[in-house]
Chain A
Amino acid sequence: GAVVSQHPSWVICKSGTSVKIECRSLDFQATTMFWYRQFPKQSLMLMATSNEGSKATYEQGVEKDKFLINHASLTLSTLTVTSAHPEDSSFYICSASDDFKTQYFGPGTRLLVL
């Protein structure tokens, strides 16, 4: 159990375009979803926490207008990187939880902005 999917697995885009990443909990209802960014050989950096039906809580230093998060249902959260630039290239991983503690991670999305 506790399967989380993420789509797409990788994306290459031109600078200035927007990219949407989907995170789905497949076999449980995720009251909370988390979005992380991971640069090579570094730890997981929490970007934001989203609860179904409410606005996401962003970590300090993360621009909410650049990284739009929508958690429309108990099984789906989306992250949109707006006007992506090369410095946004990274590995984006979501996780889902039904108790705010145990987190199950998606497979990640590798974003490359040219």
Chain B
Amino acid sequence: GENVEQHPSTLSVQEGDSAVIKCTYSDSASNYFPWYKQELGKRPQLIIDIRSNVGEKKDQRIAVTLNKTAKHFSLHITETQPEDSAVYFCAASSGNTPLVFGKGTRLSVIA
């Protein structure tokens, strides 16, 4: 089955700097890669997703890149703000199987 590895487990950045979180997956059939943000005690919120027919997708300060050959995808947050502090989860799915989540990255943005 699918296995998703996520790095780093914790990340601290200064406000205004960029943050990058990387994930790798094992199943070449996976074609859907969402990213979720979870604040303490709250539900995961979908912040961006990418499908395998696209290499990059951007939404304001957030971007996701996908390298299907290498089976890895990354989340990029630019101009980080304190409210970006949360746990971020990547996930992968082939569409016929449930999402498999990474272990999460705890991002701290220091003002």
Contact = CB atoms under 8 A, between A and B. Distances in A.
Chain A interface SS verdict (over half):
loop
Interface stretch (A62-70, A75-83, A96-104): A96-104
A104 B46 contact: yes
Interface string A76-113: 00000000000000000100000011111111100000
Give chain A's interface residue range (CB within 8 Å of chain B).
Answer: 10 to 19
Given A104-B46, A108-B43, A43 B101 contact: yes
Contact of A107 (B42, B49, B102): B42
Interface stretch (B14-22, B58-66, B75-83, B92-100): B92-100
Nearest to B45: A105
A57 to B, nearest CB: 9
A21 B42 CA distance: 17
A79 to B, nearest CB: 15
A114 interface: no
B98 A105 contact: no
Interface of B: 32, 34, 36, 41-46, 49, 89, 93, 95-96, 98-104
Interface of A: 34, 42-44, 46, 49, 93, 100-108
